[in-house]
Structure 1
C-alpha cells in the first residue's frame, strides 16, 4: 500500500484519474457529508462532489459513502482507469478484501466492488487525511 507523505497530493500515472474521497461527520449539527475530487496526472481538476446528508451516523458507514460516490461519479464520467485514495484504512481494507465479508460494512461494500469491474483498471489505497484536504474541505462545505 502506497502512503503519500503527509500533506502532499501525489499525481497518478498518465491516463489514470485519481479520486480522493472522504466522509465527514459534524456531531453538533448531526450532519454527515461526502467530498470527492477527481484529478488527472497533471493535477487538473476534472470534477468534484459535495454531498450532504442529515441524521445520526456511524463513522465507518459515512466513510463508506465516499468511495461509493467516487465509484459512481467515475462510472458516470466514463473513466476507465481510476485510482481511489481514501483516508479511512478500515474501508480500504474491507474494499480490497477478496473473500466474502459478512460484516455490515462488507455487505454494503460488495456492490461498490462489483461496480469496479466496469473499469479497465481500478486501485483503492489509503492516504492520510492531510493528503485528502480538498476532498475533506468539500465535505465540510456541503
Structure 2
C-alpha cells in the first residue's frame, strides 16, 4: 500500500512537471517575437461587430525592444465579410505608418488568406482586388515591407485593440504610449 501511494505521488509530480513544461513551450512558440533592430513591426487585426453593422481595426507599431511607437483603433462602416475586415486592417495599418518615414517594416496579421494573397500576387482578379491593390501600392512606399502570417495568440495586442474599437467614435491613436486596457496584454507579450 505504501509503495502504491509513493508511486502515485511520483506519477502526479511527473505529470505536473510535464504539463508545466508543455505550457511554457506552447507559450514560447506562440509568443510575439520582436523584429530585427533595424525593422519596425506592425501587428494588425480586425473584428466584426454584427449587432452594430460595423467593424473594428486594431494596429500597433513596435520597435525591436518591444517599445510601442503607435497604437491605433478605428471603427469602420459596414463590411461584407470577415476577410474584408482583415484586409482593411492591413490597409489602415499601412496608411497610419506610411507618413512616418519608416524604411523597413514587417506587417503581421493572423489572417492567412490575406497574407497568402499578398504573397501570391494574383490579387487583381479577386473580389477585394481594389483593397489588395491599395495595400500593395502603400507597401511600395517603404524601403522594405514584409507581410507575415502569425497565429492569433501571437497577435493578441492587435486583437484587443480591434475588439475595443466598438467603444470609440471613429479613430483613437496613441503615440509612444498605450491605452490602459492594453497594458496587461502587452506585458504578457513582452515578459511571459
TM over 0.5: yes
Q: Which residue matches 1:106?
A: 129
In structure 2, the partner of 1:75 is 98
Q: 1:74 to 1:141 in 2, by over 3 A?
A: same
CA contact (8 A) 1:18 1:82 kept: yes
Alpha carbons of structure 1 residues 110 and 56: separation in structure 2 relative to 1, 3 Å: closer
Partner of residue 63, structure 2:
40
Q: 2:25: which partner in 1?
A: none
Contact 2:91 2:131 in 1 (8 A): no
The runs of 4+ residues in structure 1 deviating greater than 3 Å are none
Give per-residue Cα distances to partners, 1:22-68, cap 9 Å, x unaligned.
01112233321100000000000000110012435311101101110
Q: Return the structure number with greater relative CO, CA threshold 8 A, min gap 6.
A: 1
Describe the SS at the equivalent of 1:77: coil
1:97 to 114, 120, 138: 120
SS of aligned partner of 1:115: helix
2:49 alignment partner, one of 26, 33, 41? 26
SS of alignment partner, residue 157 of structure 2: helix
Relative distance call for 1:68 and 1:41 in structure 2 (3 A) is: same
Q: Name the SS of the counterpart of 1:34 in structure 2.
A: strand
Structure 1 segments unaligned to the other structure (5+ residues): none
Counterpart of 2:29 in structure 1 is: 5
Separation of aligned partners in 1, 2:39 and 2:83: 27
Structure with the larger strand share: 1
Could you tell me how far 1:71 is from its partner in structure 2? 1.1
Asked which structure has the greater CA Rg, the reply is 2
Partner Cα distance (2:153, 2:147) in 1: 17
In the superposition, the TM-score normalised over structure 1's length comes to 0.89
- Give the total of aligned pairs: 138
Relative to the length of structure 2, the TM-score reads: 0.67
